[in-house]
Chain A
Amino acid sequence: MTINGKAYIAGIYEHPTRKATDKSVAQLHAESAAGALADAGLGPDDVDAYYCAGDAPGLGPLSMIDYMGLQNVRHMDSTETGGSSYVVHIGHAAQAIAMGKANVALITLAGRPRADGMATGTAPRNYGSDAPDVPFEFIYGPNVVNMYAMAARRHMHEFGTTSEQLAWIKVAASHHAQHNEHAMLRDVVSVEDVVSSPLIADPLHRLDCCVISDGGGAFLVVSPEIAKSLDRDCVKVMGHGEAPKNIMRGQVDLTYTGGHYSGPQAFEEAGVKPSDIDYASIYDSFTITVLETIEDLGFCEKGKGGAFVSDGNLISGQGKLPFNTDGGGLCNNHPMNRGGLTKVLEAVRQLRGEAHPAVQVKDCQLALAHGTGGSIGTRMGSSTVILGRDDA
């Protein structure tokens, strides 16, 4: 039993806003949904499945289905694994479609942390004082940046990874972002620019961190029959994986991510290997997130990520693994501090041949999108999807 070829991504939409002072969260979700439906040539009445995660207001799917007036929903999923949720949702949608439970699944993300003045990276995140881990962690001042910083420090210790190597990830993202008119940061930066930017939490510098942005996005996962009926170019869902990773009863290891599990699941289901991938969207909350993920997905050996990402190897047209050609979270956007959904969007653009011409991968047949959620330092959810052109 497999989902390979049982579902397609039809419509996609990335909300162009990066600061949404005049729009509500529900409104951003709905505008994103409308954009994805228009892209596919479908309407609200065609939607029979709706998925969202913790960024959706109120009671998630119940609130948003009501707000958007969706009349025909018979399948829902609100799996919440932070920024990786939307990549998880693709697998769940494909499963539902394969089982005949749905034909058109709508997945949305939106938020406005910037308009709300949220200190995304440096303020403590309290996931609820009833969370059983909180009393043993929250008091010590964990936040998003220093958790990823501790992973980077350990990776440096074990494998000799350097700040300059991490910086190459940001350099590559900036090369791509210069061509994206919507990107928040469009200036091309150098390794020197990254390592000389202020330290936020050792060893991560300001330019090792992603942007804080408002916005959102949406996409549709549809059955093969619906995909065939549309005029729009659809991409095939070929393989999917999802995995939790945590502090493992006190056996902490911050040198790898849940991608160590989700990646092999996705490759096996798709029947392809890392060297077959033409383009990869890899969640980039921080440079270290990308480096560990690239290793975990098998693009290089564990511990060799620093050498792999150096010297422009992630830059489209130059390197072996073109990544995040929209500029990613490091330069383009990071709606509601959740980057999984936008990773899928750029992978679909690449497979359709609709990325910016300056960053479009030639003859892009196979793409990977990977989401990371929660915290690399404690509890995380990872999800990988492999997508292909219909003839792939």
Chain B
Amino acid sequence: MSAERVLPAPPENVEHTEFWAACNDGKLMLPRCKDTNQFFWYPRKTSPFTLSSNVEWIEASGKGEIYTYSVMRRSDPQYVIAYVRLDEGVTMMTNIVECDPNTVAVGMKVELVMRGSEGGQKVPVFKPA
């Protein structure tokens, strides 16, 4: 297996400070609308269900399964981009790491792992469970 692609740092945005700080502590925090008790993705401080700011952060279990994926064959190093459906019921874009890209499949169970991006900010990716 060739070297793993280094992820670029996520652009800074005042709305996302707590989310990224939690990632540095190894926690994937999911936003949940307190008006409807529904999780949503991606993180934001406005509920996309009610447009209220009544949003809380809940730590994710870190478990999920691959909804779909693609291996970027034209990149060096190659990498696996995927949508992972979390056990909490939302689906997030991510990378699948620590495996041979040829073994990745839709429906594969995966678990959270934090990776340092350029500059050190940790970002959530997934590996086979």
Contact = CB atoms under 8 A, between A and B. Distances in A.
Interface of A: 122, 129-130, 132-143, 145-146, 149-151, 153-154, 157, 198-204, 247, 249-252, 254, 378
B93 A199 contact: no
A153 B11 contact: no
Interface string B106-129: 110000000001000001010000
B13 A153 contact: no
Contact of B10 (A139, A141, A151, A198): A139
Contacts of B15: 132
A199 B73 contact: yes
A252 B85 CA distance: 9
A200 B73 contact: yes
Given A141-B81, A145-B70, A150-B83, 6 more contacts: A129-B13, A135-B20, A141-B79, A142-B93, A154-B68, A251-B90
Contact of B42 (A130, A149, A198, A250): A250
B85 to A, nearest CB: 8
Contacts of A142: 81, 93
Contacts of B13: 129-130, 132, 135
A200 B106 contact: no
B71 A202 contact: yes
A140 B70 CA distance: 12
Interface in B75-102: 75, 79, 81-83, 85, 89-95
B70 A146 contact: yes
A141 B11 contact: no
B62 interface: no
23 contacts: A122-B75, A132-B42, A133-B42, A136-B92, A136-B93, A138-B11, A139-B9, A139-B10, A139-B117, A140-B95, A141-B5, A141-B81, A146-B81, A150-B69, A150-B82, A151-B68, A202-B69, A247-B91, A249-B40, A249-B41, A251-B91, A252-B67, A254-B67
A186 B113 CA distance: 48
Interface size bracket, B side: 35 or more
Nearest to A149: B70
Nearest to B88: A250
Contacts, number: 118
B34 interface: no
Contacts of B8: 138-139
Contacts of B92: 136, 250
B94 A250 contact: no
Given A250-B92, A252-B83, A254-B68, A200 B39 contact: no
A158 to B, nearest CB: 9
Contacts of A251: 90-91
Contacts of B117: 139
A157 B106 CA distance: 7
Contacts of B49: 249
Contacts of B94: 140
Contacts of A202: 69-71, 73
B11 A122 contact: no
